[in-house]
């Protein structure tokens, strides 16, 4: 089991490496999440407004509903659905020594404790 503090890391890894398993609605929701985050972190108000206006995605009712509880919750819902429905396809590469997630599904060296599985 992955510790709770690794939740954001797990979400990022699943959505980075297994995005191809998303439904069209989930893929659109993730694009809307990215635009929303970019708009929120923009230091230029005009750019933030353009980002908000430019996205047709955020005006779609089903995406608005998906984002109702916030970007982080929407991303975690998609992650949970992917993990539930694709147990055989998703490979979590955890270090055998410290149990932390490795950087990539193919990594043989742990970035947390330095344990190496190279042969």
Residue with tokens 């929120």: 40
pLDDT of residue 54: 67
> pTM of this prediction?
0.79
Residue 85 makes CB contacts below 8 A (sequence gap 6+) with 21
pLDDT of residue 2: 39
pLDDT of residue 61: 93
Other CB atoms within 10 Å distance of the CB of residue 15:
19
Mean pLDDT, 10 residues at a time, the chain of 119 residues? 58 94 95 85 83 76 92 95 95 91 89 83
How far is the C-alpha of 55 from the C-alpha of 4, rounded, in Å? 33
């Amino acid at each position: 089991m992955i510790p709770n503090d690794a939740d954001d890391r797990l979400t990022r890894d699943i959505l980075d490496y297994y995005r191809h398993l998303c439904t069209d609605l989930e893929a659109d929701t993730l694009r809307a999440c990215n635009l929303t985050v970019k708009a929120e972190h923009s230091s230029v108000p005009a750019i933030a407004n353009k980002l908000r206006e430019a996205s047709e995605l955020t005006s779609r009712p089903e995406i608005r509903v998906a984002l109702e509880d916030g970007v982080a919750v929407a991303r975690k819902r998609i992650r949970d659905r992917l993990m539930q429905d694709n147990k055989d396809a998703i490979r979590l590469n955890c270090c055998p020594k410290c149990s932390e997630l490795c950087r990539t599904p193919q990594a043989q060296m742990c970035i947390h404790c330095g344990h190496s599985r190279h042969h």
